[in-house]
Amino acid sequence: MLDPKTPQQLFAPRVRLAPSPTGWFHFGTARTALFNYLFARKNGGKFILRIEDTDKKRSQKIYEEDIINGLKWLGLDWDEGPEREGDFGPYRQSERLDLYEKYLKQLLADGKAYYCFCTPEEIEAQKQDLISRGLPPKYSGKCRDLPPQLVAQYLAEKKPAVIRIKMPKTTLQFDDLIRGKVEFNLDLLGDLVIAKSLREPLYNFSVVIDDYLMQITHVIRGEDHIPNTPKQIVIQEALGLPRPIYAHLPMILGPDRSKFSKRHGATALVEYQKLGYLPEAVVNFLALLGWHPADNEEIMDLETLVKKFELTKVQKGGAIFNFQKLNWFNNQYLRILPKERVFNYFADYVKKYPPPFDLSEINQEYLNKILEIELPRINNFSELFQTCDFFFTKELKYPPELLIWKGESVTNTQQALTDVLNIINQISDEDFNRINLQSKFYTFIDNHLEYQGNRGKLLWPLRVALSGKQASAGPFEIAEVLGKKESLRRIKEAINKLEA
Ligand code: GLU
C-alpha cells in the first residue's frame, strides 16, 4: 500500500461511491455515483468504488453484483474498486478488518475510545431516565472511566462489550461545498459506539479509516448522511487524520415532495432496466436531479455532462423525481440515438427480459421494423409489449363493434373491409410496403364517392382489423410490418367477426 500522505491528493481529487450491498442499487445511489463520476472526470481525478459490506447479516453478493452491473450499464467506469484493483485495496470492507482493528487498538490505547459493558436494558433505562428529566437521550458515559484492571477482567470473562469513542462536549463546524457552514452540538450525541468488537467496526468508523487510507479528497454523498458527518469528523480528529471536503447532495423527493420511496414508484435502477429505459436517458435524467447547467441545456450525453458539471452549482433544496420527465428523456433518446444502437439495446432487452409472447418465430428484422414505426410513440421498451401486443400475437381480442367507423352500419363496414381486401390483393408480395399501400388506397378513395371526404370509413376498419386497438400507428405502417399474408388473414378474420 502507498503512503497515504502522498502529495497527490493536493491536486488530483479522489472521490468514492461507497454503497452497502444490502438492497437493490437505488436510484439515489446511482445519482450519487454519477455526481462523483462527473466531478472526478471533470477534474482529472479518480472515481473509486468501495463496497461497504461490514454488515454481514444484511450484505449479499447478489446486491453487490447489481451495483456493479448498474454502474456498468450507466457507463460510469470506476478507476479502482472490485474488478479494477488499484494501489489502495482491497475495496471491500469485509476484506479490510485488520486495518480497522489496528486503528481501533490505537484509539483504545490512547484513551480516546473505551470498552462499554452496559447491557441493552441498562442503556434503555438510562435513556428513559434522561427523557423523563427533559434531557436529550444519549449514553450516560457510565463505562468511560472504568479502571483498566476491571476492563481487562471483564474482557477475560468475555462479558459482552462494544467500543465507544469519547465525544467532546463542544460544537463542531464543517464546510459543505453545497450547503455552506454546518454546525452541530456534539454534546447532544453522547459517546458513540464505533465497533461491536475489534473485528466488527461500525459504519462511521470504517468509513473514516477507508476514506483516509484511500486518500479520498472529497466526500460527495446524499444529504441523509449529514448527521453522520460530525461523528466521522470526531473519529478523524481522535486519530489525527485530515478532514476531506464534504459535499452533501440534495434529497430526491417524490412528486408530493416527500422522500422518494416505493410509494412513488420504482426506486431501484434494475426496475428501470426491466421497464426498458435507455442508459443514456437515465444518466441525463439523473444529472438534472439537483443540478442544471448554466445554459439550461437539457439533452446532454455523458461527455457533455463532464464538461459542464459543477459541483458547487448543485442545489440545496430537494430534487423532485418527475416520471413524465424521465419518459420524455427516454422518448427523446429513442429518437436521436443511432438506430443501430437502439436496435441493439432492444435485442439485449428482449433477451434479458423476455416478453409474455412466443418470440421463437420472430426474427430481428421483424423486431427492428416494429421499432422503426413505434419508437416515436413509446416511452420505453416495455410499453411496446403492452401497446403493440398485436405484433407479437395472432389472436387479437377486440369487440367487433370497434371495427365500425362512427355513424356507419355493420353492412357498410363489411363492404369497406371487402374493398380493403381487394385493394391489398392488387399489390404483389414484393411491392407490399407502406408507400404502395398508401398510393393504392388513396387512388381507390379518389375514385369512390362513398369514401371521398370520409377516409375513416375505409381506413378505420382496416387499422382495427390489423391491430385490434382503439389507437395505434397508422394502418399502412402496421400492414407493412405484418406482411401481406398476415394482413389479409386479419382482415378476413375481421369480416367473420362482423358476421358472427
Ligand atoms: N455505505 C453508505 C451507504 O450505503 C454510504 C457511505 C458514505 O457515502 O459515506 O449509505
Residue 222 CA, ligand 1 centroid: distance in Å: 8
At 39-67, the pLDDT tens digits run: 999 999 999 999 999 988 999 999 999 99
CA distances for 400 relative to 247, 394, 396, 474, angstroms = 62, 16, 11, 19
Classify domain 400-499 by CATH number.
1.10.10.350
At 287-329, the pLDDT tens digits run: 999 999 999 999 999 999 999 999 999 999 999 999 999 999 9
Task: Return the best residue to mutate from 207, 210, 220 for the ligand 1 pocket (most ligand atoms within 8 A of CB).
Answer: 207
Atom of ligand 1 nearest to the CA of 211: 9
Give the least confident one: 6-15, 34-43, 106-115, 173-182: 6-15
Catalytic residue, chosen from 102, 169, 262, 352, is 262
Task: Return the best residue to mutate from 225, 243, 251, 252 for the ligand 1 pocket (most ligand atoms within 8 A of CB).
Answer: 225
Tell me the three cell numbers of residue 50: 468501495
Q: Where does the pLDDT of residue 360 fall: very low under 50, low under 70, confident under 90, or very high at 90 and above?
A: confident
CA distances for 476 relative to 334, 424, 484, angstroms = 22, 11, 11
Region class of 149: left (phi > 0), else alpha (psi between -120 and 50), else beta: alpha
What's the pTM?
Answer: 0.91
At 385-405, the pLDDT tens digits run: 888 999 998 899 999 999 999
Atom of ligand 1 nearest to the CA of 221: 8
414 has pLDDT over 90: yes
Task: Please tell me the residue having the least CA distance from ligand 1 atom 7.
Answer: 18
Intervals of CATH 3.40.50.620 along the chain: 97-249
Intervals of CATH 1.10.1160.10 along the chain: 262-382
More confident residue, 187 or 72: 72
Give the least confident one: 4-8, 89-93, 133-137: 4-8
Q: Which residues line ligand 1 (CB under 6 A)?
A: 18-20, 52, 207, 221, 225
Q: What percent of the chain has pLDDT over 90?
A: 87
Task: Return the best residue to mutate from 52, 93, 228, 252 for the ligand 1 pocket (most ligand atoms within 8 A of CB).
Answer: 52
446 has pLDDT over 80: yes
Atom of ligand 1 nearest to the CA of 17: 8
4 has pLDDT over 70: no
359 has pLDDT over 90: no
Task: Please tell me the residue having the least CA distance from ligand 1 atom 2.
Answer: 19
Whether the Cβ atoms of residue 10 and residue 245 lie closer than 8 Å to each other:
no
Residue 260 CA, ligand 1 centroid: distance in Å: 17
Q: How far is CA 400 from the centre of its chain?
A: 43
Cα–Cα–Cα angle for 106, 110, 114, rounded to 5 degrees: 85
Whether the Cβ atoms of residue 314 and residue 178 lie closer than 8 Å to each other:
yes
More confident residue, 500 or 346: 346
Atom of ligand 1 nearest to the CA of 232: 9
Q: How much is the pLDDT for 463?
A: 98
Q: How much is the pLDDT for 6?
A: 47
CA-closest candidate to residue 97, choices 59, 56, 58, 63: 56
Sheet holding 200-201, edge to edge: 113-116, 162-165, 192-197, 200-201
3 has pLDDT over 70: no
CA distances for 203 relative to 44, 52, 100, angstroms = 29, 8, 11
Report, as an integer, the average pLDDT of 441-450: 95
Q: Where does the pLDDT of residue 2 fall: very low under 50, low under 70, confident under 90, or very high at 90 and above?
A: very low
Residue type, 137: P
Residue 314 CA, ligand 1 centroid: distance in Å: 19
Cα–Cα–Cα angle for 220, 223, 226, rounded to 5 degrees: 90
Residue 232 CA, ligand 1 centroid: distance in Å: 12
Q: How much is the pLDDT for 362?
A: 81
Averaged pLDDT of the chain: 94
Is residue 72 part of the annotated active site? The answer reads no
153 has pLDDT over 80: yes
CATH T-level fold of 97-249? Rossmann fold (3.40.50)
Residue 485 CA, ligand 1 centroid: distance in Å: 59
Residue 52 CA, ligand 1 centroid: distance in Å: 7
At 477-493, the pLDDT tens digits run: 999 999 999 999 999 99
84 has pLDDT over 70: yes
Atom of ligand 1 nearest to the CA of 207: 9
Q: Where does the pLDDT of residue 7 fall: very low under 50, low under 70, confident under 90, or very high at 90 and above?
A: very low
Q: What percent of the chain has pLDDT over 70?
A: 98
CATH T-level fold of 262-382? Glutamyl-tRNA Synthetase; domain 2 (1.10.1160)
1 has pLDDT over 80: no
Task: Please tell me the residue having the least CA distance from ligand 1 atom 10.
Answer: 19
